[in-house]
Amino acid sequence: MSTDTLLSDCRVPVLGICAYSGTGKTTLLLKLLPELNRRGLKVAVVKHAHHNFEVDKPGKDSFELRKAGADQMLIGSSNRRALMMERPVEGDPDLKELLAMIDQSRIDLILVEGFKKLALPKLELHRAEVGKPFVFTHDPLIQAIACDEATQLPADCRLPQLSIDDVDGIADFIQGFIGQWTPVAPAPLGPCCDSVERKQLSVNQGVARILTKVTPINDTETLPLTGALGRVLATDAISPINVPQHTNSAMDGYAIAHGEHTSFKVVGEVFAGHAYPGVVGAGEAVKIMTGAPLPAGVDTVVMRELATETDGVVRFDGPIEAGQNVRQAGEDIATGATALTAGARISAAEMGLLASLGLAQPTVWRRPRVAIFSTGDEVCAPEAPLKPNCIFDANRFSLHGMLTQLGCEVIDLGIIEDNEDSMVAALENASAQADVVISSGGVSVGDADFIKDALARLGTIDFWKIAMRPGRPLAFGTIGDALFFGLPGNPVAVMVSFMQFVQPALRKLAGEAQWQPRLIKAVATEPMRSRSGRTEFSRGVASLGAAGQLEVRTTGSQGSGILSSMVQANCLIVLEEAVDHVRPGDAVWIQPFSDLM
């Protein structure tokens, strides 16, 4: 099967990891996957296995149901699902069929382990000690080779060469591979009206390309805790203490040593913040308050409501379990444990946790500096009177709001006149001060020239046509060390493209590890239409239905200029490329606004 046929249905890049057994494919993948995750990439892995492999366990219901004759066994929980099916085929499993089983809308890359002979782009791994020949010498689809120091590559090897132990270098190569990738058969986008040189990309492809160009900020600062809200931790928060510090009581009651006794002599009492000085003997009890440290000699607390105390002797109703109602020292967080990892964004709960450990001066990454401006002769600042035939500038303000919510420092450059020299001056000024420059308007075909010419003088720019609605045109490039985003002009399109493309870039830039847009399933309460081949982001209102399920409706008219729809909405409804219509009762993905608005 040719590469084009094999990968024709793939919406994300597919890379094989190929090597003879014993080279360490899985070992490498185990180190590579965390690194790719850290870089914001979601990865699916396809692995070739022995014909009789088993992931289930005898005795598990799923195993027994399969053995009893379930031809397909789909088992699902709220956070995991597994489909097991018996499909005997001659020879190797059909990779094209396996790839089709992956939910490609949720990932950025598929790594394939162990289909060495198939026609797909591959990274070859080689170790001299394994004593096997090279694959690349007879497989033109090998994209690069990662080998150990002892490997002697032929002098005429023209492939990019990596060290098999350099996980970072291999991750860089993979990010580059994603950035270069184009689908075999681009999604049908309907009649093409824009200039042919524009590249057509899916939302995932656009995001992946952007992320390859983002290097996280490397400057840190140390702040008082109250000033750290919304900032990203630069170092792991290691607990200097046990939480709780002492083993203590979870109840108001009596502390005793669990054993044979049925009545106990009350020998004293202990309050929170104090310690009982003595050792409690068998058959003795100490009255104890919630949070008070457990005295020496006891291990169990019985709640006051079950106790009867007369003449200094206490008896209890009901059974007593050893160790009950006791919180062990370090049970929440032990000394030396990682309470928060670097890359965590500090919200209210993180502030409380850091404070509870006495970590009052967290070290955080510097905030991204983002310059914004609007373009268009018709665009007026809202502080000034509205000129005839003009509109007020909405975009700079919605951008300002979202950037502030993301913890960025905003540099507002106002409205830039529609002429090349003003544009060049504005971009030069912006890129000198900022990590990221964002403009809105002026990137659709009619008027692209300006930003294009200005950027050609100062940096690089790509114009993309993203298979999405709203927000199809997107310009992305670099000016010096700054990244440039040219967002569309329509106010809703600006917000939607910001959420999909600028947000992941800014979060990575800010040092936030592992961020992915939050997607939740909700039941549609009305019919919705989309066009297959593009992702539709409708403004939605999600609410709890009568039966307790999450439901979603649209805000009605979905024109990309109707900004009030963003105000009414509390989420975006994401109708993925494969979806062309939704019926009431169908499940759809939604992206809640909570983080940004």
Binding-site ranges for ligand AMP (CB under 6 A):
374, 376, 378-379, 391, 393-396, 440-442, 444, 447, 488-491
- Check residue 108 and report its DSSP letter: S
Name the H helices within 357-448.
Answer: 395-405, 420-433
Q: Considering the complex, what minimum distance in angstroms separates the CB of residue 398 from ligand AMP?
A: 9
Considering only 330, 362, 442, 459, the residue that binds Mg ion (CB under 5 A) is 442
Would you state the structure tokens that stand for residue 13, as one six-digit string?
Answer: 């890049």
Q: How far is CA 290 from CA 249, 253, 267, in A?
A: 5, 8, 18
Q: Considering the complex, what minimum distance in angstroms separates the CB of residue 414 from ligand AMP?
A: 11
How far apart are alpha carbons 250 and 302 in whole angstroms? 10
Q: Which is nearer to ligand AMP, 420 or 447 (CB)?
A: 447
Rounded to 5 degrees, φ, ψ at 369 are -100, 125
CA proximity to 472, closest of 264, 78, 274, 190 = 190
Q: Considering the complex, what minimum distance in angstroms separates the CB of residue 230 from ligand AMP?
A: 26
* Residue the block writes with tokens 């502390």: 255
Q: Which is nearer to Mg ion, 229 or 391 (CB)?
A: 391
- The angle subtended at Cα 449 by Cα 445 and Cα 453, nearest 5°, is 150
Q: Which is nearer to Mg ion, 121 or 376 (CB)?
A: 376
On whether the CB atoms of residues 534 and 577 are closer than 8 A, the answer is yes
Q: Which does 592 bind (CB under 5 to 8 A by kind): ligand AMP, Mg ion, none?
A: none
Q: Which is nearer to ligand AMP, 190 or 559 (CB)?
A: 559
Rg of the chain over all Cα atoms, to the nearest angstrom:
30
Q: How far is CA 373 from CA 437, 464, 596, in A?
A: 8, 20, 20
Q: Interaction with Mg ion in 366-395: which residues (CB under 5 A)?
A: 376
Would you state the structure tokens that stand for residue 158, as one six-digit string?
Answer: 């023209």
Considering only 121, 441, 488, 540, the residue that binds Mg ion (CB under 5 A) is 441
Q: Which does 391 bind (CB under 5 to 8 A by kind): ligand AMP, Mg ion, none?
A: ligand AMP
Pairing label, strands 363-365, 220-222: antiparallel
CA proximity to 535, closest of 575, 508, 487 = 575
Q: Which is nearer to ligand AMP, 17 or 443 (CB)?
A: 443
Q: Which is nearer to Mg ion, 13 or 376 (CB)?
A: 376
Q: Considering the complex, what minimum distance in angstroms separates the CB of residue 536 from ligand AMP?
A: 19
Q: Considering the complex, what minimum distance in angstroms separates the CB of residue 417 from Mg ion?
A: 12
Which one of 169-177, 280-288, 434-442, 538-546 is the stretch in contact with Mg ion (CB under 5 A)? 434-442
Which one of 70-78, 260-268, 439-447, 501-509 is the stretch in contact with Mg ion (CB under 5 A)? 439-447
Q: Which is nearer to ligand AMP, 248 or 439 (CB)?
A: 439
Name the H helices within 48-128.
Answer: 61-68, 95-100
Site membership for Mg ion, residue 244 (CB under 5 A): no
Interface contacts to Mg ion, rule CB under 5 A: 376, 441-442, 489
